[in-house]
Structure 1
Amino acid sequence: MGGGRGRGSMASMSEDLVANIVGRLPALSFASAACVCRSWRRVCSQILSRPKLASALSLNPSAPVALQEVVDKVLSEPIFPHFALVYVGLGFDLADALQYIGRKLGACTPVIVCRDAGVIGIDATTNELKEVEWEEDSEDNLIDINRAHGIVLTVGFVPGLKVDCIPLVRHAEGPAMVDKFIMDIREYSTCISGCASPVGLIIFGDASADIKCVVEKLDCAMPVETAIVGDERGNFLYRSVNDLRNAQGSQKYYSHAVALIFAKDRNSTPGVGEIRFHVALSDGVSAVGPRYKAISVRTRDDVTWLTARREGRREVLDGESILNEIYDEMDNRIKYPECYIRVTKRRKHAIGAEKAKLITSFSFHLVPRGDEEYLYVDGRGIKTGDCFQFYYADPAAALASCNEVSATLRSLNLVSNSRSSYQAAGAAGNADKAEVFGGLIFACCGRGSAFFGHPNVDILPFTENFPGAPLAGIYCGGEIGRCSMRSDEQGCQGESSVHCCCHVYSTVYLTMSYTPAPRGAATLRG
């Protein structure tokens, strides 16, 4: 067939026939078809006009095979990749996974690869939703690399938004540049949307860095409309679309954290509709014992040593005395005796030369031990005069909280788009109704089957409300989820709620919804 005759044949094909053909193509072939001619691009844009989340899990013990399985599954249907999140087990080399997936998705796709305590995803071969936690050796409590198989790849198409990675870096001999990190986020969002605050961000912290104070400052800097979720302590690599932000491999800078930023695109075609992020939290701890006030505070090697006074009393207590009071309150009733303190912090935060804001927030800190001198708690940021109360992991409270999350998601009055977005577009009765096109879960590594006594508890709030919608998640060493919490602690009178972003024994749900543009608005082109 001659070249001219071929072009004529393509031009004479009806758009319905073209749509029937290209709608069956895998992602890479679909992208090539969109480049054939303007009419084919228009058809492809109509097929993939709504946002889409594609995700797949592989538990194949061979890392190369597992990588290929999830990529083949995710790219088996039409999608334009705007971002990718990859959660892997210890059997995967982060750099290899980043390079392979980055090559498959192209240089214009930001990618974050993260490794922590387990994954949640849709099996690439069975299409079953699975929760997978890596098993720990009973002697040293370390994850067995030979059993830590698993990878979840999630690729998102979010028309109307621009997405990229922005790192929190520090000099080799200096502190993390937190203000620069926040200003970089604002600058990116302003450049894309004309507004300094993005729609949302997903942040991943390094296991060797305590980023609680970073998240608190980020919470202060962003308006309440900006969704903030993530994993506080894992291992990660990333690739930004902007090469200047790719600090990995540099001997001058280290990455303490990285954030995937979602900003509205002011240059998007009219009629694209609106994407919204909804954050919900299933709490998993309960308070025990009286409240205390920190009297003396010292910090050494990311551990805080403190003494405290019980509320309403004058005696200053050492760590052993405090823990004895708490254990008496527990009375051996607690199956999971791991203790935390929740500290109420009133701090002034300022970004650069901006006027400081006074913010009240909660922060959880693990309590590993106490002796005749001090109570020892993990992390920094506690000051003399801060009030705190003890909390313990409570499966009953977590289960009740999951039910509350389910009710909250139900009250959002969203519908589930259980089919591919290009198939569901224009579905009868839902043409202008907000629909869920996917979700992400960040669950504490202490939860799961062993905690609840049976599997799949954490995924139920999402799956029972949005059956069939893509879902992916990771078991975290510290889950991040921006939410407001009621406060009745002294020092917070007059404040109806207190911000809390870093949680323990919780699960954070990020539900992504899309509201189509009103009927008659311009159709998305390109």
Structure 2
Amino acid sequence: MAEPLDGAMQWVSVLSTRPSLEGAVDEAVAQAQAALQDSADLALVFISSAFASELPRLMPLLKERLPQTVMVGCTGGGIVGLLDDGTVREVEDAPALGLTLAHLPGVNVQPFHVIGDELPDMDGPPQQWAEVIGVDPASEPCFILLSDAMSSRINDLLQGLDYAYPGAVKVGGLATGSSMFGSGLFCNFELHREGTVGIALSGRVVLEAIVAQGCRPIGKPYRVVEGERNVMLKLEEQDADLTMRSPLEALQELYQDLNDMDQELAQNSLFVGIAQNEFKQDLEQGDFLIRNMLGVDPRVGAIAIGDRVRPGQRIQFHLRDASASEDDLKMLLQRYCSQHVGHSSPAGALMFACLGRGEGLYGLPNFDSTLFREQIAQIPLSGFFCGGEIGPVGNATFLHGYTSVFGICREP
């Protein structure tokens, strides 16, 4: 490996598939330290739920080998990382430990652990949220968040962080574990079973997000005319005759125009996208927050979805399958590359993928991670398969499903 420029950001990601905990830790740390050409300021550790019963032993093993390094991590349903030959691998349903070490000159690395029950009141001032996290909003931080699904109050946390740190990129995922031992969160070599652990990065660092929700739009956008909580009651077609109709009527009309393959797909893989930019006229793929359809009331033609709706919002129906997921991710990666010509090269990246993706979706292993490295660069990549993925759409941060979120780290 060529000698890096003095003071340059460095990332190293390794993956061990050894079945013993000590063997996996020894192999991962040795390979990562040998590859990193300077001191490690940050360690990110992702470990498969196959090791769930051994997590209390993991912390002292890591602390002994990485004593001066800020560390966060969690358990996952699958682990993403690089083998010693440099190839990327997504290990699903087998023991694996992924380790990323990063040398971050000029970057302030602030770890934190917050409990859901201790979050500030949603009506309080933003300064209360900054005090909980321990980071001044004036430092313009970016965040990596790893949460427990049951105890983190993750939606409140994301809303509060967006309130206190507007414009800050936030990526991450919900840890997954075994049915017997649950999930584990790690912060500075302490094991936590609830809340959220995270890292705030500020200074000479840029964190950018790619959020691939795996859907393609069908039909035309509609504007919500009437809605109550998470139920759409009346829609009107955007840029048309403004005739109101029930959401079910709009869906039935759309269904008739679909080809046979899409009609079959719509039986089980139909979603609703909510536009996140109220002012953008020509909506395109990636402009929508994708949410599940929860149910239909045929008496009034209403459709319930997995998020709140309000009059004036624009929605569009979407379909999801392996082909749509591939096309969506490829389009977003190519868009990222075209928008970053002349920017500094990425130093490393993190991948937070839904348990519903991977080989079960594509029928092939290592799909999303391989596509990422083909399109972006052969940079260090690590991450895990989540029970929910955290990433921005528009100017707000959301918890997603069936999504792959990539956090790309580089110097300004």
Counterpart check, 1:203 vs 2:145: yes
RMSD: 4.1
Counterpart check, 1:162 vs 2:108: yes
Which of 73, 78, 81 matches 1:118? Answer: 78
Deviations 1:397-435 (A, max 9, x none): 433333334434444246xxxxxxxxxxxxxxxxxx934
Counterpart check, 1:366 vs 2:292: yes
Distance 1:210 1:362 in 2: 23
Q: Provide closer, same or farther for how the CA distance between residues 85 and 322 of structure 1 changes in structure 2, counting only shifts above 3 A.
A: farther
Greater relative contact order (CA < 8 Å, ≥ 6 in sequence): 2
Distance 2:128 2:20 in 1: 37
Normalised by the length of structure 2, the TM-score is: 0.74
Contact 1:343–1:388 (CA under 8 A) maintained in structure 2 = yes
Deviations 1:444-489 (A, max 9, x none): 33333443454444234542356542111222333223353xxxxx
Q: Counterpart in 1 of 2:130?
A: 183
Q: Counterpart in 1 of 2:380?
A: 470
Which of 269, 272, 275 matches 1:338? Answer: 269
Structure 1 residue identity aligned to 2:410: S
Q: How many residues align?
A: 379
Q: Counterpart in 2 of 1:310?
A: 235
Counterpart check, 1:61 vs 2:19: yes
Contact 1:202–1:259 (CA under 8 A) maintained in structure 2 = yes
Distance 1:511 1:447 in 2: 20
Q: Provide closer, same or farther for how the CA distance between residues 228 and 328 of structure 1 changes in structure 2, counting only shifts above 3 A.
A: same
Distance 1:84 1:205 in 2: 17
Which of 308, 317, 323 matches 1:396? Answer: 323
Name stretches of at least 5 consecutive residues in structure 2 with no aligned partner.
177-182, 237-241, 279-286
Counterpart check, 1:512 vs 2:396: no
Which of 142, 146, 149 matches 2:95? Answer: 149
1:260 to partner: Cα distance:
1.0
Distance 1:168 1:323 in 2: 42
Q: Counterpart in 2 of 1:29?
A: none
Contact 2:209–2:405 (CA under 8 A) maintained in structure 1 = yes
Distance 2:409 2:277 in 1: 32
1:163 to partner: Cα distance:
0.8
Q: Give the secondary-structure state (helix, strand or coil) at the position aligned to 1:149.
A: coil
Quote the sequence identity (%): 22
Q: Counterpart in 2 of 1:101?
A: 62
Distance 2:253 2:333 in 1: 36
Counterpart check, 1:438 vs 2:348: yes
Contact 2:276–2:393 (CA under 8 A) maintained in structure 1 = no
Distance 1:168 1:181 in 2: 13
Structure 2 residue identity aligned to 1:401: D
Distance 1:476 1:238 in 2: 15
Structure 2 residue identity aligned to 1:112: V
Q: Provide closer, same or farther for how the CA distance between residues 310 and 376 of structure 1 changes in structure 2, counting only shifts above 3 A.
A: closer
Q: Provide closer, same or farther for how the CA distance between residues 343 and 467 of structure 1 changes in structure 2, counting only shifts above 3 A.
A: closer
Counterpart check, 1:70 vs 2:28: yes
Structure 1 residue identity aligned to 2:64: R
Name stretches of at least 5 consecutive residues in structure 1 with no aligned partner.
1-22, 24-43, 135-147, 265-273, 299-303, 348-360, 415-432, 485-497, 516-526
Alignment of 1:247-326 (within 5 A): 248=192, 255=195, 257-264=196-203, 274-288=204-218, 291=222, 293=224, 295=226, 297=228, 306=231, 308-311=233-236
Distance 1:280 1:463 in 2: 13
Structure showing greater Rg: 1
Q: Give the secondary-structure state (helix, strand or coil) at the position aligned to 1:464.
A: helix
Contact 1:83–1:157 (CA under 8 A) maintained in structure 2 = yes
Q: Counterpart in 2 of 1:6?
A: none
Distance 1:207 1:472 in 2: 21
1:285 to partner: Cα distance:
0.7
Q: Give the secondary-structure state (helix, strand or coil) at the position aligned to 2:350.
A: strand
Contact 1:363–1:502 (CA under 8 A) maintained in structure 2 = no
1:88 to partner: Cα distance:
1.7
Contact 2:227–2:309 (CA under 8 A) maintained in structure 1 = no
Q: Give the secondary-structure state (helix, strand or coil) at the position aligned to 1:469.
A: coil
Q: Counterpart in 2 of 1:237?
A: 185
Q: Counterpart in 2 of 1:351?
A: none
Which of 89, 114, 131 matches 2:48? Answer: 89
Q: Counterpart in 2 of 1:523?
A: none
Structure 2 residue identity aligned to 1:508: V
Q: Provide closer, same or farther for how the CA distance between residues 323 and 116 of structure 1 changes in structure 2, counting only shifts above 3 A.
A: farther
Q: Provide closer, same or farther for how the CA distance between residues 382 and 97 of structure 1 changes in structure 2, counting only shifts above 3 A.
A: farther
Structure 1 residue identity aligned to 2:34: S
Q: Give the secondary-structure state (helix, strand or coil) at the position aligned to 1:286.
A: strand
Structure 2 residue identity aligned to 1:512: C
Counterpart check, 1:222 vs 2:169: no
Deviations 1:355-383 (A, max 9, x none): xxxxxx964432344465775544x6556
Contact 1:185–1:261 (CA under 8 A) maintained in structure 2 = no
Q: Provide closer, same or farther for how the CA distance between residues 401 and 98 of structure 1 changes in structure 2, counting only shifts above 3 A.
A: same
Q: Give the secondary-structure state (helix, strand or coil) at the position aligned to 2:368.
A: coil
Contact 1:204–1:232 (CA under 8 A) maintained in structure 2 = yes
Deviations 1:90-120 (A, max 9, x none): 11234433343233211x4332222233222
Q: Give the secondary-structure state (helix, strand or coil) at the position aligned to 2:51.
A: coil
Q: Give the secondary-structure state (helix, strand or coil) at the position aligned to 1:459.
A: helix
Distance 2:155 2:225 in 1: 19
1:502 to partner: Cα distance:
4.1
Contact 1:308–1:316 (CA under 8 A) maintained in structure 2 = yes
